[in-house]
């Protein structure tokens, strides 16, 4: 019998790169956060057959986070019972075996999922930094009502900012104390967070190339599948957030945010302040698109005041001061820009870390 060929004896260059990617995901990105995904990712990196199955997907759709989410989706949907049972039991070895088996037996389903999906995040933790900034924008304009426009909205969880309960570790609180969604945030520095309440929210509009409709069971299942399978507390929080959003779902606009901003502004009642929010969304825009985004805000401000609240990496949000901070400095800038006619007032009102879990408020109260 002939011996194995060179191609079958060792993974090809592409497979080796893929194997390193999955091993790194397990040993670095999932380590200490999700032992299940850590073990599954490493198991996939060690299986030539599994890697060949992954290579059936489009090249840009072979990343470990996306493939692991697809496997989790099949488990949640009841199409991979052994994997679902291993996840429920938090059995890493069983999950690793089941994941490889599902990938080999249901390659076509996995490939179809990753081809049309992208990794989603559902985080209302961002509301802890958005709430005081939106309230400050309304105060500066003297607005009694606001219309929220969230760019890169995903599931639109930023749009329930007024309906969550937020506790800061210095004893301050904001939002609805009776809300089923409770968020916590640590305050950095000695300056307190302003505790003025948001005015009435009269419009909730999400703009995204591929938004999640929280009333669509298939979309919601995928959002669940993108969560770590062994973080029950986070899953419980996500369920509460989704229920809160579904109780008053936003109006979703699908397409390029820069192109759709005029349509979004037109949906905000004339007597309300449009407040555009971006949370770590503009980094995916080329500079030219970010500048066009600012120009769209300026165009809208010709007719009425407009506010923009941004939580972005240092130097990402155009016109927002960097405070002398360096890019990739480990924190983000919380910006507040008010546009009224030909006037633009842009200020860095805070610094934040961990996607809104820590906040240093800088502006005067």
Question: In 106-168, where does DSSP find H-type helix?
Answer: 107-116, 127-141
pLDDT band at 94 (very low <50, low <70, confident <90, very high): very high
Q: What is the pLDDT, as a whole number, of residue 125?
A: 73
pLDDT band at 8 (very low <50, low <70, confident <90, very high): very low
Q: What is the pLDDT, as a whole number, of residue 234?
A: 82
3-state secondary structure (DSSP) of residue 162: helix
pLDDT band at 4 (very low <50, low <70, confident <90, very high): very low
Q: What is the pLDDT, as a whole number, of residue 317?
A: 97
pLDDT digits (tens, 9 = 90+) for 317-331: 999 999 999 988 889
Q: How far is CA 34 from the centre of its chain?
A: 18
> How many residues comprise the chain?
365
| In the predicted structure, residue 259 carries a pLDDT above the cut 80 | yes
Q: What is the pLDDT, as a whole number, of residue 5?
A: 36
| In the predicted structure, residue 307 carries a pLDDT above the cut 90 | yes
Question: Taking a C-beta distance cutoff of 8 angstroms, is the pair 156, 264 a contact?
Answer: no
Indicate whether this model's pTM tops 0.85: yes
With b for 16 or more beta-carbon neighbours within 10 A and e for fewer, the 139-148 pattern comes to: ebbebebbbb
Question: Taking a C-beta distance cutoff of 8 angstroms, is the pair 36, 95 a contact?
Answer: yes
Q: What is the pLDDT, as a whole number, of residue 85?
A: 98
pLDDT band at 238 (very low <50, low <70, confident <90, very high): confident
């Amino acid at each position: 019998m002939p011996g194995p060929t060179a191609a079958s004896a060792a993974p090809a260059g592409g497979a080796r790169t893929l194997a390193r990617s999955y091993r790194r995901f397990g040993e670095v990105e999932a380590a200490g956060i999700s032992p299940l995904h850590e073990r599954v990712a490493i198991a996939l990196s060690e299986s030539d057959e599994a890697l060949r199955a992954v290579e059936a997907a489009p090249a840009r759709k072979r990343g470990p986070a996306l493939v692991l989410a697809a496997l989790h989706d099949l488990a949640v949907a009841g199409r991979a019972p052994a994997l679902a049972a291993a996840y429920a039991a938090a059995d890493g070895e069983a999950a690793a075996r089941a994941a490889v088996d599902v990938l080999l037996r249901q390659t076509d389903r996995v490939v179809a999922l990753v081809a049309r999906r992208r990794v989603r995040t559902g985080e209302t933790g961002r509301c802890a930094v958005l709430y005081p900034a939106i309230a400050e924008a309304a105060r500066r304009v003297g607005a009694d009502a606001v219309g929220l426009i969230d760019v890169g909205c995903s599931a639109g969880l930023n749009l329930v900012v007024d309906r969550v309960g937020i506790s800061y570790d210095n004893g301050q609180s904001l939002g609805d104390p009776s809300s089923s969604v409770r968020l916590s945030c640590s305050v950095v520095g000695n300056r307190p967070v302003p505790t003025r309440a948001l005015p009435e929210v009269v419009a909730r509009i999400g703009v995204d190339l591929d938004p999640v409709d929280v009333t669509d069971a298939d979309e919601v299942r995928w959002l669940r599948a993108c969560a770590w399978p062994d973080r029950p507390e986070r899953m419980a929080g996500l369920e509460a957030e989704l229920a809160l959003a579904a109780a008053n779902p936003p109006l979703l606009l699908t397409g390029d945010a820069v192109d759709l901003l005029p349509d979004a502004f037109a949906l905000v009642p004339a007597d309300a302040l449009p407040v555009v929010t971006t949370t770590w969304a503009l980094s995916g825009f080329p500079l030219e698109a970010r500048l066009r985004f600012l120009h769209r805000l300026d165009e809208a401000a010709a007719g009425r005041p407009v506010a923009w609240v941004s939580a972005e990496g240092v130097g990402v949000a155009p016109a927002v001061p960097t405070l002398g901070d360096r890019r990739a400095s480990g924190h983000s800038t919380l910006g507040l820009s008010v546009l009224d006619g030909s006037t633009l007032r842009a200020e860095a009102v805070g610094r934040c870390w961990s996607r809104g879990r820590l906040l240093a408020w800088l502006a005067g109260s």
